[in-house]
Structure 1
Amino acid sequence: MSVIVSFPGGGASKKLERVQSTYTVREISRQFGLSEHFIRRWTREGMVRAAEPDETGELRFDFHALTRFRRARELRSRGLSMRQIEAELNGQLNLFPERGGMLIPLPVRMSPFEEALILHEQNDPRAPAMYRRAIEEGECVADAYCNLGIMAYEKNNIPRAFDHFTRSLQHDARHFESHFNLGHIYFEAGDLRLARLHYDFAAAIEPCSAGAHFNLGLIDAMEGDTPAAIASLHRARRYATEEELVQIEETLAGLQKNDGPRTE
C-alpha cells in the first residue's frame, strides 16, 4: 500500500462554490455539463434569457437563468435526451403565450437577492443583511444561505458556515454548492467519511464538477485506495480547466509514482 505524504497545493481544492450574480457560457458549460453549442442555441431561440453582455461583449447569464439550466440538468439526470429536454423547456415557455401589442419597458428594481449578490461581489458589508432579507421574503433561500456560509467561512467562523450550508440543504436537498462546501469543511476537519458523503452528492448532482472528482480522488488516496484515486482524478481531468489541470496532473504523477509498476 502506498502512502501519500502530501499533495500539490496542500490538499483539497480550496475554492468554495458560491452562487454568483452572472456566469459566462464557459462557466455554465462546466457547472451543468452542457455543450457551449446548446447554451448559445438555447439563448438564440429564447429558451434561456441572457443578461446584458459585459464590456467585452461576452455573453453572460444571471441567476434567473440558473433555474433553467438546473432544470435541464435535472431532466438529463432522469435520462432524457437533449431533444426531449428542449421540448420540456419550450413547453414551460409556452404555458403563458404572450398576447400581441406593444410592451412598455418599466424601470427594473433589483430584488433583495440580486442586490445581495452585487454587494457581495463588491465586498460591501451590507451584503449579509440583504441575504437575510431575501431569506425572510422567501427569495432564493437555499442560494442565500449558501452565500452566507461562504462569508462566514471567509471570516473563519466555521460553526456558522456549517449552519448556513446545512440550512441551505434543508431548503434544497440537491443544492450542489452547499454539498460541495460541506464536503470541504468536513475534509478540513479530518472527517473523511462525511467529506466523501457530501462530495459524492455533489458529483451525483453535477457529474462534470472537476473539483468534486478531484477531492474524492484525494480522499481515496488518503484511505490507501490508489486505483480508485487515479480513476477519480482521471474523471476530474476530463472536465478541468487549464488552471485546474496543473494540480490534477501533478497529483496524478505523484500517485502513479508511488503506486509503482503493476504486474498483470
Structure 2
Amino acid sequence: MPRLIQISDCHLCADPDARGRRGVPLRQFEAVVEAVNRERPDLVLITGDISNDDSAASYALAGRTLDTLDAPWEWLPGNHDVLEPMAAVRPLATELTLGAWRLLLLDTHVPGKPHGELGDEALEALAGRLAADASRPVLIAMHHPPLAVGSAWLDAIGLRRAEAFWRTLAPYSRTRAILCGHIHQAYLGRQALEAGDVTVYGCPSTVDPFLPGSEGFAVDPVARPGYRVIDLDGDALTTRVERVDFSA
C-alpha cells in the first residue's frame, strides 16, 4: 500500500538561525522531516511556501534538508515562492504516479499576490489531463484551498475563481481528493459534484499554526507543527495528521 506524506508551509530564510513567531523555522522543519522518515513513506510532497524571503539560499537549505529523506520528494509553489530559484534546486513536476494513483500537481501561485488562481489555460490543461486517462484514481495537490475554510482572512486570500475549478472537475468521477497548503492547519471539507463528492484536506504548517475560525490573523497558541499521512489502498484513501514536538 503506497504511502504519501504531505509537508507544507515551511517559510525558511537564508539565515538558518532566523527566528519565526514560535521558534526557528529550519529547526522545526528538520524535526518534521525526521519524524516523516519514521513513517517510511514512498513519496513526500511539499505543498508550497517553502521560502519566506525569496532567497536562493532558503531553497538550498530546504533541498539539503529534504535530501535527508529516505524517499523521493517533490514540491509545488505557494504564494511566498519564487519559481526560478525554487526550480534551480528541484524542477517542478506536474504529474506523478504512486501505485495505481495519478497525482496531479497544480500551480496556483500568482506572483506578488497572496491569493491563488488557475487561469483559463491552466483549467483547460487540467481538463485535458483528466480526460486523457479516466481509468485511474486521481489525487490533486495545490497550494491554495478551493473551498472556504471558515477563517475570514484566509478565505479572502484563497483560490480565486474556485467555481471554475470545480466546473472543470465535475465531469471526471475519478478525482478522489485534493491536498492543499496555505492555511497552516488541519482541515477537512467536501465539495459535492454530480459524479460524487471530492474531499479537500488541509495540512499543518511546519512553522506557525494558524488558529482555526479566526476573523483576523491569529496563531494557534497550542497547536504543534505537523504533516499529513495519506495511504492509498486500491481506490481507497485513508489519511491522518501527525504533530511533532520540537525545541525552540
* TM beyond 0.5: no
Q: Which has the higher contact order (CA 8 A, sep 6+)?
A: 2
Structure-2-length-normalised TM-score: 0.30
Structure showing greater radius of gyration is 1
